[in-house]
């Protein structure tokens, strides 16, 4: 919904581009709000609001999840103090990101190595590094959750899937906590990233309301295409009973 239009072979000035993009978004949103008669998975409003990583961290914490110590800043002094307080074990990732090359999560142990301008140009999310080598990619479709355990010491598992990845049965307590969080976010479904500490504690990292999950099907031999299709059919038949 927030993406710009793809325009080729025509040159527009910034004002013209702003009109094209804003009016295209506004028209699409208006059409969907006034004419769509189906069942949202999830509603555009909830999807947009809960995509904000800062907001979803607050809600997850309120629902009982441990979340990493977090700073959102573009002040090098604040970042440096935060890194020092966390003994140099801090990661950085974008608040929203942008279309184009993926910006992978990075470690930042010494902010002093970078210029003040590189911080002040834009805010970013800085978080304590969570120890552990077990990453849970949890797919919550209404009343059921399906997950894969990704075993790797890589900070961000996305660049390299040539690591042990296996089907992982979601404990009921964890599913209930996830479902509570998604309900409070107004989401019918969500794809959640969780880190498991060496002590076995589940730490919430983030949720993507419309996240990627089909790549897990050939890696775990779980028929996620069929599972998700059945979930969509049931959501259409019983739109108010799929999150219990």
Q: Which domains does the chain have, with CATH numbers?
A: 47-66+131-237 (3.30.470.20), 70-128 (3.30.1490)
Write out the two tokens for 179: 């479902």
What are φ and ψ of residue 77, in 5° steps? -70, -40
Write out the two tokens for 145: 């959750």
pLDDT for 67: 97
Chain mean pLDDT for the chain: 93
Checking if the pLDDT of 218 tops 80, the result is yes
Express as a percent the part of the chain with pLDDT over 90: 81
Angle at which helices 53-62 and 172-185 pack, to 10 degrees?
A: 130
Residues 23-46: tens digit of each pLDDT? 999 999 999 889 998 889 999 899
> Per-residue confidence at 83, pLDDT binned at 50, 70, 90?
very high
pLDDT for 170: 97
pLDDT for 171: 97
pLDDT for 241: 55
DSSP code for 147: E
- Say whether pTM exceeds 0.75: yes
The answer to whether residues 167 and 220 touch, using CB atoms and an 8 Å cutoff, is yes
pLDDT for 214: 96
Largest CA distance in the chain: 57
In angstroms, the first-to-last Cα distance of the chain is 28
> Per-residue confidence at 10, pLDDT binned at 50, 70, 90?
confident
Other beta carbons within 10 Å of 177: 17
- The Cα-based distances of 19 to 15, 25, 224 in angstroms read 6, 10, 40
pLDDT for 198: 96
User: Which long-range contacts link 54-62 to residues 24+ away (Cβ below 8 Å)?
Assistant: 54/95, 54/125, 56/185, 56/206, 56/207, 57/204, 57/206, 59/181, 59/184, 59/185, 60/181, 60/204, 60/207, 61/204, 62/184
> Per-residue confidence at 195, pLDDT binned at 50, 70, 90?
very high
Residues 104-149: tens digit of each pLDDT? 999 998 999 999 999 999 999 999 999 999 999 999 999 999 999 9
pLDDT for 38: 86
């Amino acid at each position: 919904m927030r993406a710009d239009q793809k325009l080729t072979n025509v040159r527009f000035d910034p004002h013209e581009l702003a009109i094209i993009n804003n009016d295209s978004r506004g028209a699409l949103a208006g059409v969907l709000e006034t004419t769509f008669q189906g069942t949202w998975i999830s509603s555009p409003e909830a999807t947009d609001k809960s995509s904000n990583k800062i907001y979803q961290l607050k809600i997850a914490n309120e629902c009982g999840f441990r979340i990493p110590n977090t700073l959102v800043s573009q002040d090098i002094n604040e970042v440096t103090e935060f890194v020092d307080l966390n003994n140099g074990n801090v990661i950085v990732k974008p608040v929203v990101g942008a279309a184009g090359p993926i910006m992978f999560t990075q470690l930042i142990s010494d902010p002093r190595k970078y210029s003040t301008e590189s911080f002040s140009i834009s805010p970013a999310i800085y978080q304590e590094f969570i120890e552990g080598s077990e990453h849970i990619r949890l797919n919550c479709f209404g009343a059921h959750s399906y997950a894969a355990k990704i075993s790797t010491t890589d900070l961000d598992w996305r660049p390299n899937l040539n690591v042990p990845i296996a089907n992982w049965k979601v404990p009921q307590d964890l599913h209930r906590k996830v479902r509570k969080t998604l309900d409070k976010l107004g989401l019918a479904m969500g794809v959640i990233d969780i880190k498991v500490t060496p002590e076995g504690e589940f730490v919430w990292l983030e949720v993507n309301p419309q996240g990627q999950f089909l790549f897990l099907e050939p890696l775990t031999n779980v028929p996620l295409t069929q599972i998700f299709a059945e979930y969509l059919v049931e959501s259409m038949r019983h739109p108010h009973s799929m999150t219990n």
